Structure 1
């Protein structure tokens, strides 16, 4: 073997696309959107080349971060894959370390990841730190249908679900909530204020429109709340094609103290899901003041966290103390490429 780790060139494209299609079902249009469609920052793909044979690849999906009051470029590490006959040779670690170290020289000094448990230990060997487990919750919109979908049904399940998913009434409000097809430019100012002093993927109008309006593989539904012409928040969700009857809240942003807007947006999305025959809703819970209580008041049942969240920085990165503090991070399902 004569192995060389380098950045992808056009000759590698078909091999990588075929690999991603077999692993994740990513087709041509999703490939273009995922890695080359973000107008704000480019993504980078690294390969292990064995004399012209693709032995593995790793993608760094470019994203801008809001870290405290600063905006900085970075990436999400995705799709790290080593072919079967090249495994157990330390290439997982070498590919990951080389791609992130060299991308750091181009200014991508901060990376986040949402690895599965099989990959987690490998990532921790080359500089990643697991800083937390992401809270999650669900709500049955139709208890009978949700119960029928389960393979194992504990005694008194329906009664327990009815009790646990009881929601509190939403106070009266004068919000205008409407479905939107795209995000307006003034969402930039709103999201900056809502996420001030937090670590998060920057939610600019350009990013949000790329992420939720131009995705070729999934149809997201989006609702925005406003009052007297001022944006108060938004919510994004989708119905699963692989698991019919399941819906997901992938993004929800309001000002931290605005419980009424958050609950009104959640209720609006739930009503949409009900009209689409969805019987259960799932969400990660943003790690931000008040969101736990917002979801509890909305009737959501918290489950044991299963998704690790990892962070990696290159030498010389400013603000390490901030990015390794899990309590500073605002994370939703939509920050992960899996949703």
Structure 2
């Protein structure tokens, strides 16, 4: 096989060939609406062989990042892939380096991604991106008997364990949130207005580094995304927006999951009230488990633990949520960019991919 390849910037002339690449890699193609939503304003490098077939893909979604007291252009790498017949030929490293060079010329000096188990070693060893941390998965069991049934196959043992599981859930997982006596109204909303710009302006100083969660981003991320049914709830007190939560339902390993995708609030009590609302909604919708990703340095980590969430041991997690970063060290202080305590990340930052 001819191992030569050419690096090009993607144009829509290659869309059909890119879609064929995904079919070869994952046995499924891109959804056209999803592709357009993700990459309408993105930058994409491709590698083509001598027949002009796309054999590798490295897309970057432009993301506005709050970095201390500045707004930075950043990029998030998603949907990175190489054709099975062209692996171990240096395509991964070449596209990474060329992509970062192109982005720097466009004023993008920090790029990040959440690689899977297969690609993570390449980021650490071959291209030496910085592994910042892995996001812990926090869970709250809603139906303990579903777990007994899944992991204990003996019907007699199942029957014996059901009362124990129920008691354990009541003692350990029961919601510990307590709302203060306040006029807090929680309502489902269907778009983000200018009040969310004000909310972000008020709360952004809590974070050293975070995706700018203004109305423009939030509408793009949760309202305009095709194929996903996010449920968004706002918390308002005396006509003042105090926070929001974004939820999604999914199925994994025959368990129905209720996911806390994003949350932003003025105070812990508002966060607890929104989490309790999510808990009741997921219970009503017959979910088995409630889950959330949150770094243990985040203010919300303690709120989630107070609400009865427990950190799931890695051996029981469906995957490890690696977080790696590449920054231009001449522009961005490495001790800031590569420290997890400075980042605010949620499920919403990850499940774009």
Q: Give the TM-score normalised by the residue count of structure 1.
A: 0.90
Q: How much does 1:338 deviate?
A: 4.7
Q: Please name the residue that 1:171 is paired with.
A: 179
Gaps spanning 5+ residues in structure 2: where?
315-319
2:213 corresponds to 1:203: yes
2:233 touches 2:244 (CA, 8 Å); kept in 1? yes
Q: Which has the larger radius of gyration?
A: 2
Q: How much does 1:319 deviate?
A: 3.2
1:60 touches 1:77 (CA, 8 Å); kept in 2? yes
Summarize the alignment of residues 144-293 of structure 1 with structure 2, pairs less than 5 Å apart: 144-150=145-151, 157-172=165-180, 173-196=182-205, 197-240=207-250, 245-255=256-266, 258-293=267-302
Q: Which 10-residue stretch deviates more, 94-103 or 189-198?
A: 189-198
Q: Please name the residue that 1:85 is paired with.
A: 85
What CA distance in whole angstroms lies between the structure 2 residues aligned with 1:182 and 1:308? 30
Q: How much does 1:286 deviate?
A: 4.6
Q: Please name the residue that 2:47 is paired with.
A: 48
Residues 194-249 of structure 1, C-alpha deviation per residue, up to 9 Å, x if partnerless? 23142111111011001101111110000011112221111001111565621111
Distance 1:100 1:212, change over 3 A: same
Indicate the SS of the match to 1:144. Answer: helix
Indicate the SS of the match to 2:30. Answer: coil
What CA distance in whole angstroms lies between the structure 1 residues aligned with 2:290 and 2:235? 20
Q: Please name the residue that 2:330 is paired with.
A: 316
Q: How much does 1:293 deviate?
A: 2.1
1:287 touches 1:329 (CA, 8 Å); kept in 2? no
Structure with bigger helix share is 2
What CA distance in whole angstroms lies between the structure 2 residues aligned with 1:267 and 1:106? 44
Indicate the SS of the match to 1:118. Answer: coil
1:180 touches 1:222 (CA, 8 Å); kept in 2? yes
1:64 touches 1:71 (CA, 8 Å); kept in 2? yes
Q: Give the TM-score normalised by the residue count of structure 2.
A: 0.87
| Aligned-residue RMSD, C-alpha | 2.2
Give the counterpart of 2:9 among 7, 10, 30.
7
Residues 141-164 of structure 1, C-alpha deviation per residue, up to 9 Å, x if partnerless? 222234334467997555444432
Gaps spanning 5+ residues in structure 1: where?
37-41
What CA distance in whole angstroms lies between the structure 1 residues aligned with 2:226 and 2:217? 15
Q: Please name the residue that 2:19 is paired with.
A: 17
2:257 touches 2:291 (CA, 8 Å); kept in 1? yes
1:78 touches 1:337 (CA, 8 Å); kept in 2? no
Distance 1:337 1:137, change over 3 A: closer
Q: Please name the residue that 2:38 is paired with.
A: 34
What CA distance in whole angstroms lies between the structure 1 residues aligned with 2:45 and 2:299? 40
What CA distance in whole angstroms lies between the structure 2 residues aligned with 1:276 and 1:144? 16
Q: How much does 1:288 deviate?
A: 4.8
Indicate the SS of the match to 1:167. Answer: coil
Q: Which 10-residue stretch deviates more, 154-163 or 176-185?
A: 154-163
1:17 touches 1:31 (CA, 8 Å); kept in 2? no
1:143 touches 1:162 (CA, 8 Å); kept in 2? no
2:307 corresponds to 1:298: yes
Q: Which 10-residue stretch deviates more, 17-26 or 89-98?
A: 17-26
